[in-house]
Amino acid sequence: MKLLKRAAAVLAVAGLMGASGEAARAADEGPIKIGVLHSLSGTMAISETTLKDAILMMVDQLNASGGLLGREVEAVVVDPASDWPLFAEKARELIEGEKVAAVFGCWTSVSRKSVLPVFEELNGLLFYPVQYEGEESSKNVFYTGAAPNQQAIPAVEYLMSAEGGSAERFVLLGTDYVYPRTTNKILRAFLHSKGVSDDDIMENYTPFGHSDWQTIVADVKAFASAGKKTAVVSTINGDANVPFYKELANQGISATEIPVVAFSVGEEELAGIDTSNLVGHLASWNYFMSVDNDLNYAFIDKWWEYTGDKNRVTNDPMEAHYIGFNMWVQAVRQAGTTDVDAVRQAMYGQTVRSLSGYDVQMHTNHHLSKPVMIGEIQPDGQFEIVWQTESPIVAQAWSPFIPESAKLTADWSYPWVCGNCTEPRYADWFTN
């Protein structure tokens, strides 16, 4: 028992020492720290490690070109290990312990939900780079991925057009979590508004990492044999996609018969699959690696150089981080400080030329205006862009297709100053 006490004492002292050392370091001198909160182990490591590398690369570049406000930028990488409560713990450690100026991180909605209270409590700044279900606008988060109106709805509109094959019947396949559920809810409402009846919509949800797709692919085939052009809208997540596409290809479902449009399948996911039998299946994103412009090619070259591997691909969430990081740098320069409140103000209206070739802008709902692109899978694992918007589309944080959310407004500028309100809150700031 004595030993126990000793051990406890050592632990406590160690904790105190570490803590006081941290506290002594002021946030205004030395390098500017930013946090990288992406899983490097566990199930999400597949997707998130790339994003960590991308941020590190951009930090390197920034430092090589003279840093920020005359100071060096240092990325603090931690591994939340695909463990949601650990995300919250690490976020707290980054903001309070490491005093980071901003955090780039999270992939899944649940990880974002887990860190959200921490960022709001400690007034941190999170850049969230993944397409998601919307229905959120926090003062402390900038959402650089797509909202449903920047990805799902344009894709379905395309499928219904003559060019996209005039689909009349839809299968909504998804992994059972909040993003597919919400997206499909919005899509169902949208399809109703286009005159598609419930008989022509099939919805199916599978667990994470689902690996046996035989039954579902057979079901899709049966559903498609009703004499109407059928298309599949897939919100299947990460890991489950490889077995899904392998089954699809081997069962001989070609894109000309039943096209599959996916919102979570990008270059990185396709890197694990032989795509020669998947040509023509689609994906909807705000960026594809195959975008033809010099900025993009230069970025790809740097990426290859940084990773030392010419087979590495770039994808949409990486581009979102590219936008987020550059916007943050611009905002910090403009504000002349890394202070969160000042940077947030400077972020609004900030414009960055994105890798997609468009100028994207941060709006006061903390979301971006982004272009929408629809690409078809090619035999080399890349996408060929078959359709894109003329100009960037402004994100709707709250979907007009969900009655409860249609009432809400997200606008952090005068006079609203609120992420989810039915009336302006500016006056409240004086009474409180």
Residue 110 binds another protein, judged by CB under 8 A: yes
Structure tokens at 321: 């981080």
Residue 123 binds another protein, judged by CB under 8 A: no
Q: Which of 225, 390, 431, 432 is the binder for another protein (CB under 8 A)?
A: 225
Q: Which of 23, 27, 298, 427 is the binder for another protein (CB under 8 A)?
A: 23
- Residues 324 and 347: their CA atoms lie apart, in Å, by 10
Give, as ranges, the residues between 184 and 223 that touch another protein (CB under 8 A): 185, 204-212, 214-216, 218-219, 221-222
Q: Which of 168, 247, 319, 411 is the binder for another protein (CB under 8 A)?
A: 247
Q: Which of 31, 69, 71, 97 is the binder for another protein (CB under 8 A)?
A: 97
Q: What is the DSSP string of 320-365?
A: HHHHHHHHHHHHHHHHTS--HHHHHHHHTT-EEE-TTSSEEEE-TT
Which is closer to another protein, CB of 1 or CB of 64? 1
| Residues with Cβ within 8 Å of residue 219, at least 6 apart in sequence | 202, 204
> Kind of pairing, strands 383-388 and 418-421?
unpaired
Q: Which of 242, 342, 394, 417 is the binder for another protein (CB under 8 A)?
A: 242
3-state secondary structure of 195: coil
Q: Which of 60, 84, 200, 417 is the binder for another protein (CB under 8 A)?
A: 84
Residue 31 binds another protein, judged by CB under 8 A: no
Which is closer to another protein, CB of 350 or CB of 399? 399
- Report which of 185, 92, 112, 210 is spatially closest to residue 406, judged by C-alpha positions: 185
Q: CA dihedral in degrees (23, 27, 28, 33; nearest 10)? A: 140
Q: What is the DSSP string of 137-157?
A: --TTEEE-S--GGGTHHHHHH
- Residues 181 and 328: their CA atoms lie apart, in Å, by 32
Residue 319 binds another protein, judged by CB under 8 A: no
Per-residue contact flags (x/-) with another protein for residues 36 to 65, judged by CB under 8 A = ----xxxx-xxxxxx---------------
Shortest CB 350 distance to another protein, Å = 26
Residue 239 binds another protein, judged by CB under 8 A: yes
- Residues 107 and 51: their CA atoms lie apart, in Å, by 10
Secondary structure of 51-78 as H, E, C letters: HHHHHHHHHHHHHHCCCECCECEEEEEE
Q: Which of 109, 183, 314, 396 is the binder for another protein (CB under 8 A)?
A: 109
Which is closer to another protein, CB of 83 or CB of 368? 83
Q: Which of 150, 277, 284, 396 is the binder for another protein (CB under 8 A)?
A: 277
Which is closer to another protein, CB of 107 or CB of 346? 107
CA quadruple 80, 88, 348, 334: dihedral sign = negative
Give, as ranges, the residues between 341 and 370 that touch another protein (CB under 8 A): none
- Residues 197 and 179: their CA atoms lie apart, in Å, by 23
Per-residue contact flags (x/-) with another protein for residues 131 to 170, judged by CB under 8 A = ----xx-------------------------xxxx-----
Q: Which of 58, 103, 116, 329 is the binder for another protein (CB under 8 A)?
A: 116
Which is closer to another protein, CB of 239 or CB of 322? 239
> 201 - beta bridge partners?
170
Residue 92 binds another protein, judged by CB under 8 A: yes
